[in-house]
Amino acid sequence: MPELNLYFIALLPPLEIRQDITQLKEYARDTYGSQAALKSPPHITLQPPFKLLEANIPLLKQRLTEFAGKTAPIEIELSGFAAFPPRVVFVDVVHTPGLMAVQPALTAYLKETLGIEDDRSRHRQFHPHVTIAFRDLQRHQFKKLWADVRDRSLYYPFTVFDLTLLQHDGRRWNVEAEFPLSAS
């Protein structure tokens, strides 16, 4: 039987910012018992998880290379914290024009060229964020974590130069490939 693998597409901050955000995720694990966010590198999801036959990965990579080649590097600003009660706490992301344009363009391109789409995303507005704690954060712990971080200062401006494809290995998400954003 052909093997289906699980993937998603994201923008990753530079390594030093990822390390800082990973420390926040570790704090959420150690203090509030939420560790699910540690199963992926800090990221901004552009295309939520989807299944694809392993045989179709070369075509996916070709399409992502084409898309990224027509897309300019993206200015990102991480600024403060926000939440989706009752379980999700995240680093908030400023809705910069480049970021807000790339997500719908990518999802439309993937639907048109490969038939990849996420039913939930069609009914939800894109809200870029970098998750600190989610799924396994208990409601009473959510309130405590949110009270702990909501007024903390955090600001990271940077430029993303790659679109990143991540693959799930059964335990965690790993970078499968990066595609340079190279339009001028």
pLDDT digits (tens, 9 = 90+) for 88-108: 999 999 999 999 999 999 999
Q: Please report the pLDDT score of residue 2 as a whole number.
A: 74
CATH code: domain 4-180 is 3.90.1140.10
pLDDT averaged per 10 residues in sequence order, the chain, 184 residues: 89 97 96 94 96 94 98 97 94 96 95 88 84 92 94 96 97 97 89
* pLDDT 10s digits, 139-151: 999 999 999 999 9
CA distance 50 to 61: 14
CA distance 83 to 85: 6
Q: Please report the pLDDT score of residue 10 as a whole number.
A: 98
CA distance 111 to 117: 5
Domain boundaries, the chain: 4-180
Q: Report the predicted TM-score, pTM, of the whole model to 2 decimal places.
A: 0.94
Question: Which among 172, 133, 135 is positioned nearest to 39, based on CA atoms?
Answer: 172
